[in-house]
Amino acid sequence: MAGGKGSLAVAVILIAVGTCWLLSTLGVMPQINWIWTLGLGLTGGLIFGLIGIDKITIVAGSFFIMTSILSVLRQTGRISFDVEVPILVITSGLLLMISRLPAIPRPKWLLEDSISHPDSPQTND
């Protein structure tokens, strides 16, 4: 039976969530909302894994991963919500600046759209 990337991703997510949940319940790991936290991190990872790296995914994927990390820090009492939110705002700005670098490619769908509409005005990044 040939499975796609999606079925493998679901299996990995279920194993990761269940393992962290069990370890929290047994007192091995701190009490963290693992479903939320791992969901954020895995969303970021899946964005990179399934779509690749481009100007859109570098912002979205990295933001989800950073949100997951900060969520763990907040839930373990290392930072407060009042610190988490400004860090996320700063991260958003930095990621948007990074996405403008010429080394980071444009999304394939954007390139395909510009090829199919050659008369449309091109904008510089």
Per-residue pLDDT of the chain (125 residues; tens, 9 = 90+): 456 666 777 788 788 878 888 888 898 878 888 888 888 998 998 899 889 999 999 999 999 999 999 999 999 899 999 999 999 999 999 999 999 999 999 998 877 766 666 665 555 55
The Cβ of residue 123 has, within 10 Å, a number of other Cβ atoms equal to: 6
Question: What are 63's two structure tokens?
Answer: 């933001």
Domain that holds residue 82: 35-107
CA distance 48 to 63: 12
- Domain assignment present for 51: yes
Burial class (CB in 10 A: 0-12, 13-18, 19+), 120: exposed
In a 10 Å sphere around its CB, with 0-12 CB exposed, 13-18 middle and 19+ buried, how is residue 38 labelled? buried
Q: Which amino acid is at 96?
A: L
**Position 15 in a domain:** no
Give me the pLDDT at residue 1, please.
43
Task: Kindly state whether residue 77 falls inside one of the protein's structural domains.
Answer: yes
pLDDT of residue 117: 62
Position of tokens 């009042």? Answer: 82
In a domain, residue 10? The reply is no
The answer to whether residue 99 sits within a structural domain is: yes
Q: Is residue 115 part of a domain?
A: no
The reported pLDDT for the residue numbered 85 is 97
114 is a domain residue = no
Note whether residue 1 is domain-resident: no
What's the CA gap between 51 and 61, in Å, rounded? 10
Give the number of domains in the chain. Answer: 1
